Amino acid sequence: MMKSCGYVLGLLFFIYCVKANGQSYHAANGSAYAGVLGNFTNPASGINSPFKWDVSIVGAQSITTNNALSIGNLYFNNLASTAVLFQPTSGTGNRRIDNNADLHLFNVRYAIDKIQCVSFGIRVRSYTHATASSFNFIDTTSGLLPFLSYNAGSTPFNSSVSNEAWVENDFSYARILKEDNNSRWSGGITIGLLRGISGFYGSINNLRYVSEAGRSVATGGGVKILYSDTYSVTDEGNTLLKNALKLKQVGNLSVGASVGVEYLVKKNVFDEPYNPKNYYWKIGFSIMDIGGNKFNTAAYSFIVDSPKANVTDTGLINQIDAAYGHYDVKRVLINNFKGSLPYQSTFKMRLPTRLVLAIDKSFSSNFYVNAMLSLNVYNENSANIYKINTTELNLLVITPRWENHFWGFYMPVQYTATHNLFVGTAIKIGPLLIGLHNLNWLDKSKIAELNGGSYVALHIQPKTKKLHHSLDCFYD
């Protein structure tokens, strides 16, 4: 039995925390130095950069909120060791874990002239959500039977997990819409060519059982599992490149879009040339990630309902332990449940469509405060398993920042859509931007709680010109 629990918990940990494939580079929120990174929150921001061009060679970020799993014996020198222990968090209550992650490669912005710019780049993105209704878990639990006995007589058990991952090629265009001595309006659009690489949805619905004669017998409930056929083309024996090429052949092509506008209130100093770093207020509004990925349903997907007579905990676990692959697990469940339903040949997973409002206030030539509100359009709890919703973790982020061309220090405070409060930090040293979503991670014991995350980007920009200001000395 513990073998089965290890498989499940290990898989959850891998999906949620390791696959750091978002808009969570909070240090860049509102910054004129963000350049091409600004497209991740508003495609109109690119034209308000002081640079002719900039390149983010590589970057990655991952953020997780979690009250579902606890990890013991986790140290940097034994990450791959069997001594690392994964188990549900102790106590009684609902469980939830969410992860947003992305990897971007060679994102480039180029200003055609003073009123328009273009950008392009590659991103790999992953969104995972998992929930479970209330149950009791004690950290000394040694098997499934004690676990079920703790929860006998409770309300029906429900849980769900979904993962959507895709590769996107982004093409952005931004331009000045209107400008005068006091203000500037800009607009922008991003078109993304999407290739789905992972689509998964699984749920346990209204599971009910009774404990009798030292065992638990299922009396109701069903299981739904949908896999994308991309899972069937990869092979552990293949190289990463070969698996990537296979995914590209199988994954369906879709189109996504983001649109936005930005308004600046300028700092006017006599008749000196305007510079995008000189403003009192900057206000942006955008609609991000419109669209979705379409997946072909793999043959080992299934929908079953109503357990057959005498389906017991030990019998089911023993059969799953003996199963070899996805097809065998499907066979085990179909043999133990009745009412198997046919599944549709395709299913869709929506992108994390959201409305983003950002307000950036300048207090000096190098100190700013940014407030960003992100409102998800969809709720991930979708009744239709063939139209699965995905959401962003960000809700409200307030980021004080001090920065110039070379140096930067940032202290983002984030309240997530799952009601977690994170206080983070980030630094910029030349082209390197590195940050933590949650300062608790500076305490190595807090990493095991899986609440937080980090980000890093290698972002190259040309050196800014020294501009003469009639009221100040030379400044950067």
Per-residue model confidence as pLDDT tens for the chain (476 residues): 333 333 333 333 333 333 333 467 898 999 999 999 999 999 999 999 999 999 999 999 999 898 887 776 665 555 555 555 667 777 778 889 999 999 999 999 999 999 999 999 999 999 999 988 877 776 654 455 555 555 555 678 888 999 999 999 999 999 999 998 889 999 999 999 999 999 999 988 888 877 776 677 777 888 888 989 888 776 666 666 676 667 767 778 999 999 999 999 998 655 556 677 889 999 999 999 999 999 999 888 888 888 887 777 777 777 777 766 666 777 887 888 877 777 889 999 999 999 999 999 999 889 999 999 999 999 877 778 899 999 999 999 999 999 998 999 999 999 999 999 999 999 999 999 999 999 887 776 677 677 888 999 999 998 755 444 444 443 44
pLDDT at 8: 36
Q: What are phi and psi of 331, to 5 degrees?
A: -60, -40
Asked if 231 and 301 count as a contact pair (C-beta separation under 8 A), the reply is no
Asked if 296 contacts 252 with a C-beta cutoff of 8 angstroms, the reply is yes
Residue 237 pLDDT? 66
pLDDT at 73: 61
Find out whether 308 and 284 touch, Cβ atoms under 8 Å. Answer: no
Looking at this protein, which amino acid is placed at residue 279? Answer: Y
From residue 421, alpha-carbon distances to 85, 138, 269, 393, 444 in Å are 26, 26, 40, 11, 19
In the DSSP assignment, the letter for residue 76 is G
Interatomic CA distance for residues 311 and 214, integer angstroms: 14
Q: What is the distance of C-alpha 324 from the center of its chain?
A: 31
Q: How many residues does the chain have?
A: 476
| Cα distances (Å, whole numbers) of residue 15 to 11, 126, 179, 437 | 6, 9, 47, 19
User: In angstroms, what CA-CA distances link 155 with 202, 347, 377?
Assistant: 20, 30, 31
Q: How far is the C-alpha of 24 from the C-alpha of 433, rounded, in Å? A: 13
- Alpha-helical (H) ranges within 49-155 are 144-151
- The one-character DSSP state at 273 is P
Tokens read off for 452: 């937080």
Strands 387-388 and 346-350: parallel
pLDDT at 21: 36
Query: Kindly report the CA angle at 250 between 248 and 255, in degrees rounded to 5?
Result: 70
